[in-house]
Chain A
Amino acid sequence: MKFRTRAIHVGNEKDPETGAVVPPVHFSSTFVQPGAGEWGEFDYSRSGNPTRQNLEQTLASLEGGTGALAFASGMAATHCVTMLLKAGDHLLAGTDIYGGTYRLLQHVVGPSGVDVSLANSTQLDTLEQAFKPNTRLLWIETPGNPLMSITDITACAELAHRHGAWLAVDNTFATPALTRPLAAGADLVMHSATKYLGGHSDLLAGALVAGSEELHGQLYYLQNACGAVLSPLESFLLSRGLKTLELRVHEQCKTAQQLAEWLSGDARVKRVLYPGLPNHPGHALAKNQMQGGFGAMLTFEIDGDLAKTKRVAEATQLFQLAVSLGAVESLIEQPATMSHASYDASDRAAHGITDSLIRLSVGLEDVADLRADLDQALNA
């Protein structure tokens, strides 16, 4: 079955008891057992819940993995992955990673004795030099935030495996509708399911999908031991969102591509960072790695200072001023003062995050409405 059909049917088998087309939501925290010392399929909702399990089956199918795990947030999922490592192990991560991941690695995982370092994952030579004999995990994110840098998953998998490390990919921006890292050789996929997978700005969730039974087993053990599982209601809402994932993402990509092309030709805009534009440094790679679109996140730099950029970001009527991304509502933000404000100014400069950058999360609205909105805001 094709991706979209699986998104609707895998993990959503009809309820055998009532025939309900949509499986019931199981709020039960605990389950009655057949006998003392005998265990049924479910025992306690932290170790397994039917609603969460349905969702995990859908996620595993969409990413092409052997098993998936749903977490209370994206950060909870990432944290679970870092628990695979022990003091003395080395974790290597790309530089263009989500700020919260950076914070977790630098300030939580690092101090616990894991050796953490960062290297530019779009430069394979630089990345290879950063491997150490004790490197256990390579963590990358593609497209990267906020410059939409593209990292070669296949090449990273080859590198990681040559050095005896796992490759984990934060696939939040691309989604399995566009990119399936496991098929490209990654061992593990992570999602902030808060974003496109949920898709409606109304839940927090994280997900891990493993490419092997063994890794899935280890992560399942850690998830149950640490406890950051996703609630039944959120699991249901997330499953519901997945049914329109491909429709939403393809439509949002189409709109983003049109907006990127339009912005590129506008005199008020200095440059547009979108992998779907031929002049983007990752374009050729993205064409290969992303099927059906180049994502719905785009960043552009305006011809103006910090104050002017702030005015533009505040002047839109349809795009709403907020961090986060991936939902039906379009959002706008200024990386320098919002998503990447926690970076030092010098770090921002080193990463090319200038004061006049604006990041858009393109939603499901009509492209003509969004274009008109940006057009008036750019005059602010």
Chain B
Amino acid sequence: MNQDSLIDAKPANDANSTLAVHGGEARQKLADSVTDPIVCASTFTFENTQSVIDYIEQQQPREEYGRYGNPGEKIVEKKLAALEGGEEAILFASGMAAIVGLFMSKLNAGDEVVFFDECYHRSREFCSKHLARFGVVTRQVPACDYDAMESAITPNTRLLVSESPTNPHLSIIDLERFAAIGKRHNVETLIDATLATPYNVRPLTYGVDYVLHSVTKYLAGHNDLLAGAIIGSQDQLESIRNLRGIMGAVNSAHNIYLLQRGLKTFALRMERHNQNGQAVAEFLESHPRVEKVYYPGLASHRDHTIAHNTMRGFGGLITFLVKQADWKETAKIVDAVTVPRIAPSLGGVESLIEQPLVMSYYECTPQERRQFGIPDNMIRLSCGVENAADLIQDLTQAFNA
């Protein structure tokens, strides 16, 4: 009896807890163990010469060498694909390795990429500094300006890219509209859905070609590993997988086991991140020291309607501005909290807090920061799965400190 048949047979329109626990896994595993073994092998043996020849000539599905794949990796890739509702997933050593892997395999000199400007600063840096070195042209347009995106498309455009929600402004992309622009111009589309996760929205169902995740964040969920993934159709992913085997940005067997273990509580954690995010955002919005809160679950958010119509919840990440505060007064609040720790990253069970000016944009000029929409009084808070009352109490005392 095969577990896959039961799980896959379900109309998987929902990244639910059953999929998180069992998706991608065989019911009967090696040594009848309930959990999958960690296969540490760097290489895999062949019985004899004929079996090598059979493998190469008939492309029999089996392992060959660790850089091309690992049994534990295949299971987690299947689980991620199941959660995202895609045909296939490819794991990478980190989210950035996934982004680089996709760009490098899909783009050639002379090709063009159009992307919405609100995004993880390293993704932007890779586009502007490194893709440019290989003769790829990248065009930034303001987030959610679909007309600007469409106007930026030329006959050389190969890829439209956005995050949703965006980091750190939490703008929500109209995925249907975004995907439609791509289809109209025969250009592929990529959504970095790290902040959304398949629990809250599944971009492939809107016609997006590729979904990308910094798996480091919510999917792994415990602030204790780095991983990245791309999910899409088997055909479209093939060249990415082949290039990964050459570039070598694969994840490790131990890491992948921790990821698989973390995914078991994925739906449960997301439900709580969503609840905590909403509760803390509402608290912040009502606080006299807060000027503005960016959280898609608030009616005051510019994209609330589209978020409300397309997402199950809005995650644990909240960005807010402190009223009439310079960067030092803002830093005082960051320094006064006791439950969230000061650190980059997000999406783990532990709450994290940071001031984007200091953490990610310190080396930018004030003008660049203005351009990226990073004011001095901005704080980004990643709500973990702690008790919401503890988080709110902690923020209250930090505002009074």
How far, in angstroms, from A361 to B369 measured CA to CA in the complex?
A: 53
Q: Considering the complex, which residues of chain A in the window 135-174 have a beta carbon less than 8 Å from any beta carbon of chain B?
A: none
**B300 at interface (Cβ–Cβ under 8 A)?**
no
Please encode chain B, from 329 to 350, with 1 for each CB lying within 8 Å of some chain A CB and 0 for all others: 0000000000101010000111
A247 near B265 with CB under 8 A, answer yes
B343 near A365 with CB under 8 A, answer no
B390 near A201 with CB under 8 A, answer no
How far, in angstroms, from A364 to B21 measured CA to CA in the complex?
A: 7
How far, in angstroms, from A10 to B17 measured CA to CA in the complex?
A: 28
How far, in angstroms, from A14 to B385 measured CA to CA in the complex?
A: 17
Nearest chain B CB to A330's CB is how many angstroms away? 8
Contacts of A8 in B (CB 8 A): 349-350, 384-386
B222 near A22 with CB under 8 A, answer yes
Query: By DSSP majority rule, is chain B's interface helix, strand, loop, or mixed?
Result: loop
B386 near A247 with CB under 8 A, answer no
Contacts of B348 in A (CB 8 A): 21
Contacts of B272 in A (CB 8 A): 247
**B387 at interface (Cβ–Cβ under 8 A)?**
yes
**B223 at interface (Cβ–Cβ under 8 A)?**
yes
A19-B343 in contact given A327-B34, A364-B268, A365-B17 (Cβ < 8 Å): yes
Contacts of A3 in B (CB 8 A): 387
Binds B, one of A258-266, A294-302, A315-323: A315-323
**B261 at interface (Cβ–Cβ under 8 A)?**
yes
- Nearest residue (CB) in A for B36 is A202
Interface centre among B17, B223, B348 (most CB of A within 10 A): B17
**B16 at interface (Cβ–Cβ under 8 A)?**
yes
A202-B35 in contact given A2-B387, A21-B343, A364-B264 (Cβ < 8 Å): yes
Contacts of A318 in B (CB 8 A): 3, 6, 18, 22
**A243 at interface (Cβ–Cβ under 8 A)?**
yes
> On chain B, which size bracket covers the interface?
35 or more
B343 near A22 with CB under 8 A, answer no
B390 near A329 with CB under 8 A, answer no
- Nearest residue (CB) in B for A4 is B387
A201-B343 in contact given A22-B223, A240-B224 (Cβ < 8 Å): no
**A328 at interface (Cβ–Cβ under 8 A)?**
yes
Nearest chain B CB to A364's CB is how many angstroms away? 5
Nearest chain A CB to B302's CB is how many angstroms away? 32
**B78 at interface (Cβ–Cβ under 8 A)?**
no
**B1 at interface (Cβ–Cβ under 8 A)?**
yes
**A5 at interface (Cβ–Cβ under 8 A)?**
yes
B34 near A248 with CB under 8 A, answer no
**A67 at interface (Cβ–Cβ under 8 A)?**
no
Contacts of B3 in A (CB 8 A): 317-318
How far, in angstroms, from A322 to B32 measured CA to CA in the complex?
A: 10
Q: For the A-B complex with A1-B390, A363-B21 known, give 7 more contacts whose Cβ atoms are closer than 8 Å.
A: A2-B386, A9-B350, A247-B272, A247-B385, A318-B22, A364-B21, A366-B17
- 9 A-B interface contacts by CB (under 8 A): A8-B350, A200-B264, A247-B265, A318-B6, A318-B18, A320-B27, A320-B34, A329-B34, A365-B17
